[in-house]
Amino acid sequence: MPRLLPGVIAMAITVVASNILVQHLLGAWLTWGALTYPVAFLVTDIMNRVYGPTAARKVVFAGFITGVLCSLVAAGMDKTTLRIAVASGAAFLFAQLMDITVFNQLRKYNWWLPPLAASLVGSVVDTAIFFSIAFSAPLSAVFPADDVSWANEPVALLGLGPVLPLWISLATADWLVKLAQAVLALVPFRIIVGNLIQRRAQIH
């Protein structure tokens, strides 16, 4: 477990920071949390590459528990709703586990392909699950206490495209950030993984 502690701490910090920053807008379509949340995929991929899928899953579950605790605190402060909490928890867990699965399927290929493909697939899953559960009109019957009518107001996609519910623009902008960060994360992934593998070799 001590070897996983840095990963657990990094994941917890990412989840806590994202839960706080998601409450602050960044432009018309994003929150500041959109910039920190994709780091979770980087943490998962590093742990997977260095310590394997079992270790990566333990770090993911630690992040999930941290997220649940954050949601409970936020709910007590009237900063979130049950619907948002369910959407956030489900999106995080399924997306991160999907990331691990895709990474393992591609583990034997070039170093950059597993983390890139895993993060991209995980990002699609994360965005689709979170925004559809949190804001889509058909699920309003499941969460009657949460008013998401504002998220279903018709607007041009990202202010330029076809007219769609607002939450589609929010989801699209969020996914584009994840896409960019999946590419940019290859640099720290390469450096951190190299250092950790070298350190393990010296210990053994």
For the cut 90, the answer to whether the pLDDT of residue 203 exceeds it is no
Domains along the chain with CATH numbers: 2-203 (1.10.1760)
Most confident option among 77-81, 124-128, 199-203: 124-128
Residue 172 zone, left/alpha/beta (φ > 0; ψ -120 to 50; rest): alpha
Partners of residue 25 on adjacent β-strands: 31
AA identity, residue 96: Q
d(CA 199, CA 54): 20
Q: What letter represents residue 28's amino acid?
A: A
For residue 175, what pLDDT is reported?
Answer: 97
| Joined tokens for residue 179 | 């896409």
pTM above the 0.85 mark? yes
**Amino acid letter, residue 46:** I
Residue 73: CA count within 13 A, CB half-sphere: 9
SS3 of 155, please? strand
Interval 79-120: pLDDT, tens: 788 899 999 999 999 999 999 999 999 999 999 999 999 999
Tokens standing for residue 86: 């369910």
Element housing 163 (H / E): strand 163-165
Residue 59 corresponds to which tokens in the numbers above? 């770090």
Q: Is 24 exposed, middle or buried (0-12, 13-18, 19+ CB in 10 A)?
A: exposed
Nearest C-alpha neighbor of 198 from the set 58, 60, 190, 56: 190
Q: Do residues 130 and 83 lie in contact, with contact meaning Cβ atoms separated by under 8 Å?
A: no
Per the prediction, the chain carries an average pLDDT of 93
Query: Do the Cβ atoms of 165 and 152 come closer than 8 Å?
Result: yes
